[in-house]
Amino acid sequence: MPSDLERAMETLIIVFHRYASKASGNPSTLNRKELKMLMETELSSFLKSQKDPAAVDRIMRDLDSNGDGEVNFEEFVSLVVGLSIACEQLYQFKQRQQAGGVKKQ
């Protein structure tokens, strides 16, 4: 039986390919429309405060490190990493706050 961590890695691959194969075009990369769908559905709690309609274009440009107009798995993972690191910093802050190391605002 896979461990929690192995299942989490499998989820990254499954979620990426679920959206990469939605629209026509390359079924192994996310185009703008697929990335928008993925972010609206899978990252809604992170992005619900994001009202800027140009946000997806900006994120697409930032992620598309090889500049081909598509986001491949490696580029997608860098988004997941960035969000996870930000969440982990918040988690550590909350832990310190609970332990009394940081005063509540």
Binding residues for a copy of itself (CB under 8 A): 2-17, 28, 38, 41-46, 73-74, 77, 80-81, 83-85, 87-88, 91-92
**Nearest alpha-carbon partner for 62 in 81, 45, 48, 44:** 81
CA distance 84 to 7: 16
Query: Which residue, 81 or 102, has its beta carbon nearer to a copy of itself?
Result: 81
Cβ at position 31, least distance to a copy of itself in Å: 17
- Between 36 and 42, CB nearer to a copy of itself: 42
Residue 83 CA to residue 46 CA, distance in Å, equals: 8
- Closest distance to a copy of itself from the beta carbon of 3 (Å): 4
Which residues are 71's β-sheet partners?
A: 30
Closer residue to a copy of itself in complex, CB, 3/105: 3
The H helix count followed by the E strand count for the chain is: 5, 0
CB of 32: closest distance to a copy of itself in angstroms? 18
CB 75 within 8 A of CB 20: no
